[in-house]
């Protein structure tokens, strides 16, 4: 059993300021010399980039379905042993989704601090806070922080509207120096946000004037023995594309293939870097290739090395944006068609409407691999899928799964620790699905 101060940052909905406040809290406590570990609920890739910048450490995912209760417990207990503070940022609203942030907070007894945007709101603030605190008695509730508060008088009205037994944690005023910009998949990537360090610092300054400047009470986390996988990838060199175009990478995925014995290196297609020498397998993760399609189309060095890798029949695993890079072309939202690598037959077109969203799973001879899908593109290809993923909430088919020569590709982002044995087969080019 490990005990550590811990807080779950949630809200009534998206857009309330959860990420900004969580990042500010992490930086504020880090400035005081504390070791802060931040987790992100759900399958998000973008928020963790900002939270990692704020905390100075990788941000792992927690999700009772995708990650699993046992692995969530292990991650929390291990973090509690090495940290002075644990922060968990929720996903969407506190009770949204199945499982929800509330389910996660209740399961591990982490008290919830609710961030509520008070813009264009007065006494109704109290009703919203009351509902969040009382809707489920099993969810431990710590207090309420008001965001986007116009003045000290506005703050006083909000505090007065709270039931006396709900803790007022303070307020944060609106500021262009704090807010984080967004785009179609959510927030911008940390490295793309102008003045990201200043924004995090200003958020930390604002929160230092609230009750959240003090550590929350400790929470006890039950230790869970780690499953030590055999080093079945020992001697294998896996290269991962990583830059602004290919950045949707779970830290847990990289940790897994390293634990399986693989040597991991990185290269940047955007910088026209070739595949590193001596590579046995490639991983092209998701990201934003559509925003950089013109550059990718002209980067001949990377293109030649990836084509040579595939010609040599070496395994290549591609997810979502990584799969789009392998196609013959990619058409952006302006209607411009860009040539891609031509290693998979077909064309993708970006659209302004969401094409797919949700948790999914792949059935394999080694068990189930969990993950999720989230994309705005449509793929036309003559390739026949070898299988489909399945939606978490039903038995309906999800994304197509393609195998073409040594390439394994799908829109689904896999959470690899859910099925280490199968992941090992992927990078040895011996994949199979049920």
Active site residues: 320
List the beta bridge partners of residue 143.
Answer: 113
Report which of 18, 52, 74, 32 is spatially closest to residue 215, judged by C-alpha positions: 32
Question: Residue 347: how many CB atoms within 10 A of its CB?
Answer: 17
The CA distance from 223 to 423, in Å, is: 26
Cα 383–chain centre separation? 30
How far is 247 from 284, CA to CA, in rounded Å? 9
Q: Give φ, ψ of 173 to 5 degrees.
A: -80, 155
The whole-angstrom separation of Cα 314 and Cα 234 is: 16
Distance CA 27, CA 24 (A): 5
- Bridge-based pairing state of the strands 407-410 and 397-404: antiparallel
Q: Which SS3 state, helix, strand or coil, does residue 349 take?
A: strand
Given its phi and psi angles, is residue 97 left (phi above 0), alpha (psi -120 to 50 degrees) or beta?
left
Nearest to 215 by CA among 66, 33, 433, 14: 33
Place of tokens 């634990």: 259
Contacts with 370 (C-beta within 8 Å, 6 or more apart), sequence order: 65, 66, 67, 68, 359, 360, 361, 392, 414, 415, 418, 419
251 and 240 Cβ atoms separated by less than 8 Å = no
Residue 351 to residue 378: CA distance in whole angstroms: 7
How far is residue 179's CA from residue 182's CA, in Å, rounded to a whole number? 10
Quote the CA–CA distance of 426 and 117 in Å, as a whole number. Answer: 45
């Amino acid at each position: 059993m490990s005990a550590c101060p811990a807080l779950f940052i949630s809200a009534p909905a998206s857009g309330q300021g959860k990420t900004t406040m969580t990042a500010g809290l992490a930086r504020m406590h880090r400035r005081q010399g504390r070791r802060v570990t931040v987790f992100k609920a759900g399958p998000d890739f973008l928020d963790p980039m900002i939270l990692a910048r704020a905390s100075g450490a990788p941000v792992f995912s927690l999700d009772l379905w995708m990650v699993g209760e046992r692995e969530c417990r292990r991650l929390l207990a291990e973090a509690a042993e090495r940290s002075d503070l644990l922060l968990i940022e929720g996903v969407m609203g506190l009770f949204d989704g199945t499982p929800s942030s509330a389910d996660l907070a209740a399961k591990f007894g982490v008290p919830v601090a609710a961030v509520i945007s008070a813009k264009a709101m007065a006494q109704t603030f109290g009703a919203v806070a009351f509902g969040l605190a009382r809707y489920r008695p099993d969810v431990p509730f710590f207090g309420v922080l008001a965001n986007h508060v116009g003045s000290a008088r506005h703050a006083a009205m909000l505090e007065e509207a709270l039931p006396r037994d709900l803790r007022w944690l303070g307020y944060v005023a609106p500021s262009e120096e704090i807010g984080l910009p967004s785009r179609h998949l959510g927030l911008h990537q940390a490295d793309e946000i102008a003045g990201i360090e200043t924004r995090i610092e200003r958020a930390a300054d604002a929160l230092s004037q609230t009750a959240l400047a003090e550590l929350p009470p400790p929470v006890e986390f039950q230790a869970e023995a780690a499953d030590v996988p055999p080093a079945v990838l020992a001697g294998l060199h896996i290269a991962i594309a990583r830059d602004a175009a290919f950045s949707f990478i779970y830290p847990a995925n990289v940790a897994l293939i390293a634990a399986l014995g693989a040597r991991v290196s990185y290269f940047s297609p955007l910088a026209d870097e070739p595949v590193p020498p001596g590579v046995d397998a490639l991983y092209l993760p998701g990201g934003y290739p559509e925003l950089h399609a013109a550059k990718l189309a002209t980067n001949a060095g990377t293109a030649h090395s990836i084509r040579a890798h595939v010609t040599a029949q070496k395994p290549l695993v591609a997810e979502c944006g990584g799969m789009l890079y392998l196609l013959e072309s990619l058409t952006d939202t302006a209607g411009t068609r860009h040539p891609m690598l031509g290693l998979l037959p077909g064309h993708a077109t970006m659209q302004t409407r969401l094409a797919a969203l949700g948790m999914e799973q792949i059935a394999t001879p080694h068990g189930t691999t969990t993950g999720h899908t989230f994309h705005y593109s449509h793929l036309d290809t003559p390739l026949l899928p070898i299988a489909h993923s399945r939606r978490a909430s039903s038995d309906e088919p999800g994304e197509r799964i393609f195998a073409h020569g040594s390439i394994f590709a799908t829109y689904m982002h896999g959470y690899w620790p859910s099925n280490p044995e199968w992941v090992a087969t992927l990078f040895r080019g011996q994949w199979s699905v049920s």
